[in-house]
Structure 1
């Protein structure tokens, strides 16, 4: 009998996720692009997220150390009011939708999340936050569609929504062929009454 050996490392990030109805709005706006550019590597809608801190590959026993401090952070913080708006691209290869609403609060939350990670002794690349939601990536052999879709999304304005949970997420990226999938390691509701420092 072959037992699956758990990975020694796990690719981890901390994120927010829009609610289903906000994602549905954006999906409807993207339908023409889905049909026009099937060669793009479209992210699964259920995986759409706003990354606050990308931690990269961590030893499998490190991620559990983040649970309690992140749970305490979420419990102390109130939710944010955000919206999906417009579109853009990174280097004509990565298509994204922009984030609107309490962006200042989003930056504060990001700083607090990253402080928690550092306090846990996790070393990661602390890149400046560019709030966005990644939608698709161009294949090397077929770069068409990213710029065009970003331009088509320029006028998109989604409804305002409230962040519900802080997510600690694992990714299977780099673990073989096929689409990238994400799974929650854990998630915590924002139950506090303030929006951060």
Structure 2
């Protein structure tokens, strides 16, 4: 939990975050891309997340209501078994890693999060969920590197992990020049039960 005073408005989203060992494993697989495409705008490893609902710019007065509602939702949901797998891109400009594991449970959680946010009187543009971990963006003056970096992740299969917490995150997007930085406003543990997938090999988000 971050006890610093909130600004009058926040760019907010609800997300999951892989554990450190899963992020370190992917970062190791990305070493050739880091070296080969240094002009990509690489996200900081500590900022890697899986967005469930992007809420946009909200008044800080909405945060206490969201905190209370999301705490209850997290307690009522089981943890999810997930993993990172492969890579891809959106429009040759945004590089991502795919999500494996209990995608059905992930979609159920995202739907519940979005319904809960609306029940709090907060409207937002609910785009279809495409589970992924954003890794880098191409610069406007140099769009090269993203498809090549995605191809380099084609065979990557990360270890499975458990999503332990639901995160309410704020960012500095639109607040001046420089890289995007994220911070947890608060995070809540999921319930003690663990949801398992429908059996067989985990499905890829790609």
Partner of 1:113: 113
- Is the 2:13–2:55 Cα contact (8 Å) retained in structure 1? yes
1:6 is displaced (CA, Å) by 5.7
Other-structure match for 2:53: 53
Deviation at 1:8, TM superposition (A): 2.2
Range with bigger deviation, 11-20 or 59-68: 59-68
**Equivalent residue of 2:97, what SS?**
strand
Instruction: Quote how far apart the aligned CAs of 1:194 are.
Output: 6.0
**Would you say the 8 A contact 1:93–1:138 is kept in 2?**
yes
CA–CA distance in structure 1, aligned partners of residues 152 and 11 of structure 2: 32
Encode CA deviations 1:48-83: one digit per residue, 9 max, x unaligned.
000000000001111221011110111111100000
8 Å contact 2:81–2:195 — kept in the other structure? no
Which residue of structure 1 aligns with residue 42 of structure 2? 42
Distance 1:142 1:115, change over 3 A: same
Aligned to 2:181: 181
**Are 1:25 and 2:5 counterparts?**
no
Structure 1's 194 and 162: CA in aligned 2 closer, same or farther, altered over 3 A?
closer
Matches within 5 A, 1:160-171: 160-171=160-171
The 5 Å alignment of 1:14-163 reads 14-163=14-163
- TM-score, structure 1 length as denominator? 0.94
Alignment deviations for residues 3-51 of structure 1 (CA, whole Å, 9 cap, x no partner) = xx96321000000000000000100000010011110000000000000
Conserved? CA contact 2:74–2:191, under 8 Å: yes
Q: 1:74, 1:192 within 8 Å by CA — same for their partners in 2?
A: no
Equivalent pair of 2:95/2:137 in contact (CA under 8 Å): yes
d(CA) in 2 for partners of 1:195 and 1:121?
A: 29
Distance 1:114 1:178 in 2: 30
TM-score, with structure 2 as normaliser: 0.90
Q: Secondary structure at the match of 1:156?
A: coil
Deviation at 1:178, TM superposition (A): 1.3
Separation in 1, partners of 2:148, 2:161: 27
The 8 Å contact of residues 18 and 48 in structure 1, kept in 2 or not, is answered as: yes
Quote how far apart the aligned CAs of 1:96 are: 0.2
Q: Gaps (5+ residues) in structure 1?
A: none
Q: Residue 199 of structure 2 corresponds to which residue in structure 1?
A: none
